[in-house]
C-alpha cells in the first residue's frame, strides 16, 4: 500500500503544528492591546499557554516512543483547554473579541486530537 501523504521530516511539516503556530502568533497580536495592568497577568498567561501548544507538538515530534509522543500531545491538549478558558475570560472582561481566534483554536484542537489518535494507533 502506498502512503498518500509523505512522512513529515520536521515538526514544521505537520499541519497541526502550523495551525498551532498561527494561533500563537494571533494571540501575541491580540494581546498587544490589552490594558497595561495585564502585562504580567492575563496577557502573559495567554501567551504562555498559546506558545505551549506548538512547542509541545515540536518537542513530541522527535520523541521515539509512542508513550513519550502522546505525553507531549496531551500536554499540548491541556494548553488548548487553558487557552480556550483565557479567550472566554478576555471576551467577558471586554479586552478583545475572540470569536475568530476561537475558531482557529478549535481547528488546532481537532487536528491535535486526530494526530494523537494516529500516534496511538500507529505501529511505531
> Is 9 a domain residue?
no
The answer to whether residue 83 is domain-embedded is yes
82: cell is 487553558
- What string of pLDDT tens digits covers the 124 residues of the chain? 344 455 778 999 999 999 999 999 999 999 999 999 999 999 999 999 999 999 999 999 999 889 999 999 999 999 999 999 999 999 999 999 999 999 999 999 999 999 999 998 885 4
Asked whether residue 63 is assigned to any structural domain, the reply reads yes
Here the cell at position 92 is: 467577558
Task: Report how many domains make up the chain.
Answer: 1
Q: Does 112 map to a domain?
A: yes
The answer to whether position 45 is within a domain reads: yes
Q: Specify the CATH number for the domain of residue 115.
A: 1.20.1440.60
Rounded CA separation 65/21 (Å) = 24
Residue at grid coordinates 509541545: 56
Which grid cell sits at 69? 509522543
Q: Which domain holds residue 84?
A: 14-121
Q: Whose CA is closest to 102, among 91, 87, 123?
A: 87
Amino acid at each position: 500500500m502506498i502512503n498518500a501523504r509523505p512522512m513529515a521530516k520536521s515538526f514544521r511539516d505537520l499541519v497541526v503544528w502550523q495551525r498551532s503556530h498561527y494561533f500563537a502568533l494571533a494571540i501575541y497580536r491580540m494581546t498587544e492591546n490589552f490594558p497595561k495592568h495585564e502585562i504580567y497577568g492575563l496577557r502573559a498567561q495567554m501567551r504562555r499557554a498559546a506558545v505551549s501548544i506548538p512547542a509541545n507538538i515540536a518537542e513530541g515530534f522527535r520523541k521515539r516512543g509512542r508513550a513519550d509522543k502522546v505525553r507531549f500531545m496531551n500536554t499540548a491538549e491541556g494548553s488548548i483547554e487553558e487557552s480556550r478558558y483565557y479567550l472566554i475570560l478576555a471576551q467577558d472582561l471586554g479586552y478583545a473579541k475572540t470569536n475568530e481566534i476561537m475558531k482557529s483554536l478549535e481547528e488546532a484542537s481537532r487536528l491535535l486530537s486526530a494526530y494523537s489518535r494516529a500516534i496511538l494507533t500507529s505501529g511505531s
